[in-house]
Structure 1
Amino acid sequence: MKKITGMILIATMLINLVACQTSGSSYFYYYTNTSCVELIKKETKLKTDSNEEIIKALIDCMGTKSSDKKECVIKPDYVTDPTVSISNDYCLLDFDSSYYQMDSYTEVLYRAAMVKEITQLKDIEYVEFNVDGEDLVKNNKEVGVMTASDFVDDANNGDDSVEWTNVTLYFATKSGDKLIRYNRTLSHSSNVSAEKLVIETLIKGPTQAGFYRTLPSDVRVLSVSVIDGICYLNLSSEFVDEMVNVTSEIPIYSITNSLCSLEGIDAVRILVNGDSSISFRESISLDTEFEFNESLINE
């Protein structure tokens, strides 16, 4: 009897070892590197078509120790796996209070990995984290619904370390005459400034319903620098040549409010091809320092 029991245990261990290597459809999951500064993408094959089963299998893969010493499990053992609920294009992950025991950097790495993994599944676009049935809160703010583009850089883009920045962006309301806050966690190479990342993310536009574009999609960031609390932003001519369906102040203060939400920035100077002696939409002179504008925010 003991021999049979032992054989069953060995068989179970073997099944677990190959669970992330079976034939079927390809999916990716993540480890982190030994210094815990970047994500490492791994591939597995799964036979099931059930999104719930796929997510649970990917969670198991993430929690399985890698044979490569350079690859480390992201989530600490003391953090329990979440319950998974799916409704149409939305996935809810509900953790217990052990989630809040993770340090900030580990937490954002793990959250990025989970969102990227889940949104690769067919028909799932949005992911939300709960803790004990309540919205996940970071830096005294509810994180809310996330998409893959909330974590803009992919994992294996070279040897540069990855930095994570919590930012508040300002997109337009549907009416186009007010701004609405959009909290995001952005991952980026250590050689890309948070200021440039903020503007490029505004240019890409929002990914969540209820938020609307403020800048032309073709505009390019020519340069950005911060001197004595003033952010000097040099944009390509598309900023003034192409129109977005919002009032004149919205593009200016979408940029200004977003940049002024970063530490160390008190005001913004906007240039177009190096020139600030022009008027935006023939009504707003760019030859000035723009400061955070609370009155345009839709509360």
Structure 2
Amino acid sequence: MIKTMNKRQLLYKRIMPVFIGMLIMVTSVSCEKKSRDDSSAFKVYYVNSSETGIVSENYEIQSDKSDSKAVINELVTALETMPDRLQYEAPIAGDIKLLNYSLKDKLLTLNFDRKYNELGRTIEILDRAAIVRTFCQLDDVEYVTFQVEGTPITDHYGSVIGNMSADTFIYNVGKEISTYEKIELKLYFANESGTKLVPVYRSVVYNSNISMERLAVEQVISGPNTDVAFPTVNKDSKIKSVNIKDGVCYIDFDSTFLTQTQNVSAEVALYSIVNTVTEFSDVNKVVLSVNGEPSFTFMDFMISGPYERNLDIVE
């Protein structure tokens, strides 16, 4: 494995600054579906009046929750309606019109008129984040994609944005963001048999206050979002800390990490993390721990780092 600063420099060339001074004020970064037993658990997201962040308001769905079309129609109306609090702005408002939508296989496609292309970059990504995070709370919606008069939207560099989930928009809660950036990560997930790794490339918009190593591990936990690769670790695993010293990345998980819910070997799960993190040029080895314990048993396999990249396990 060859690691040079040139590789790091090339990686950073892919980082695309989108806007500055964004303050995110929502209270959850999980894309997991919340319990609907409590009506206040559902939230509708808006843009703050200074257009520097998104905020949420508790919302009680009035429609029959088994009627997806009715619920989506209701939420579209909520997202089009200026809230009572004047410091909030509706994300579908002004000259922007939603022409139609479709829902198939948990993918919600929103088709806007051509005025959508006239949005500034800052407000566009804020509007998009508010809309996606609102709809992804629904059990029937896993992903949202945007179109303009039937054509998929693209970013400032002409790349199709594609399907988005709530965790497409990564940020630190309560912290001011100096830059909101885009990066392409190389992640490793399992093949269908769970015996080998396959690489998956993913573009992620993220808060530059988050280390890329932590961001990459969070993306591994969230799963591959493709039918050509499969999850490797428990999606409920939580990262307690990520630190790098002298080329070694130390990752501490909570105990949920030990509960394996995927049909993969222990080595595949281990190296999905190790190979992903060692893609970064300043990381040569990875040490995993659970609740601060550097040695632990995982699927009858004793893990005690450090571990280096293993390309033999890649399909």
The TM-score by the shorter chain falls in which range? 0.5 to 0.7
Q: Which residue of 1 aligns with 2:100?
A: 83
2:232 alignment counterpart: 214
What do residues 152-184 of structure 1 show as CA deviations (whole Å, max 9, x unaligned)? Answer: 78xxx9754578665634332322213242636
The 1:179–1:142 alpha-carbon spacing in structure 2 relative to 1, beyond 3 Å, is: farther
- Shift in Å, 1:214: 1.2
Contact 2:132 2:166 survives alignment (8 Å): yes
Out of 205, 213, 220, the residue aligned to residue 202 of structure 1 is 220
1:224 maps to: 242
- Distance in 2, matches of 1:110 and 1:295, equals 41
Work out whether residues 38 and 161 of structure 1, in 8 Å CA contact, stay in contact via their aligned partners in 2. no
SS in 2 for 1:62: helix
Letter in 2 for 1:172: A
Aligned to 2:57: 41
Instruction: Specify which of 72, 79, 88 is matched with residue 62 of structure 1.
Output: 79
Give the root-mean-square deviation of aligned CA atoms.
4.8
Q: 1:280 to 1:100 in 2, by over 3 A?
A: farther
Is the 1:135–1:143 contact (alpha carbons within 8 Å) kept by the matching residues of 2? Answer: yes
Q: Could you tell me which residue of structure 2 aligns to residue 233 of structure 1?
A: 251
The 5-angstrom pairing of residues 246-261 of structure 1 reads 246-247=264-265, 250-259=268-277
- In structure 2, the partner of 1:287 is 306
The residue identity in structure 2 corresponding to 1:72 is E
For 2:110 and 2:259, locate their aligned partners in 1 and report how far apart those are by CA, in whole Å: 44
**Residue 91 of structure 1: how far off its partner (Å):** 2.0
Asked whether the equivalents of residues 219 and 238 of structure 1 are also in contact (C-alpha less than 8 Å), the reply is yes
Say which of 105, 108, 119 aligns to 2:125: 108
1:107 counterpart letter in structure 2: E
Q: Is the 8 A contact 1:74 1:110 kept in 2?
A: yes
Gapped regions of structure 1 (runs ≥ 5): 1-24
- For the structure 1 residues 130 and 228, does the alpha-carbon distance in structure 2 shift closer, same or farther, using more than 3 Å as the test? farther
Long gaps (5+) in structure 2 = 1-38
Residue 196 of structure 1 aligns to which amino acid in structure 2?
A: R
* Residue 178 in structure 1 maps to residue 197 in structure 2: yes
1:223 maps to a residue whose letter is S
Name 2:22's counterpart in structure 1: none
2:311 equivalent to 1:296: no
1:81-132 CA distance string (max 9 Å, x none): 2421233533211234544444444333322322233344463444322344
Shift of 1:31: 1.2
Deviates more, 1:42-51 or 1:93-102: 42-51
**What letter matches 1:30 in structure 2?**
Y
State whether residues 119 and 125 of structure 1, in contact with CA within 8 Å, keep that contact through their aligned partners in structure 2. yes
* Distance 1:183-1:110 versus aligned 2 partners, 3 A rule: farther
Specify the SS of the correspondent of 1:145: coil
CA contact (8 A) 1:179 1:250 kept: no
TM-score (norm 2): 0.59
**1:130 to 1:261, Cα distance in 2 relative to 1, 3 A:** farther
Identity %: 27
Contact 1:75-1:106 within 8 A present in 2 as well: no
Residue equivalent to 1:72: 89
Three-state SS of the structure 2 residue aligned to 1:29 is strand
Higher-Rg structure is 1
Q: Distance in 1 between matches of 2:255 and 2:46?
A: 42
Asked if structure 2 preserves the Cα contact closer than 8 Å seen for 1:85 and 1:92, the reply is: yes
8 Å CA contact retained: 1:52, 1:84: no
TM-score by length of 1: 0.62
Question: With CA pairs under 8 Å and 6+ residues apart, which has the higher RCO, 1 or 2?
Answer: 2
CA distance in 2, matches of 1:258, 1:105: 30
Bigger shift: residues 216-225 or 83-92: 216-225
Q: Which protein has the bigger helix share?
A: 1
> Does the 8 A contact of 1:150 with 1:185 survive in 2?
yes
> CA 1:87 to 1:275, structure 2 compared with 1: closer, same or farther past 3 Å?
closer
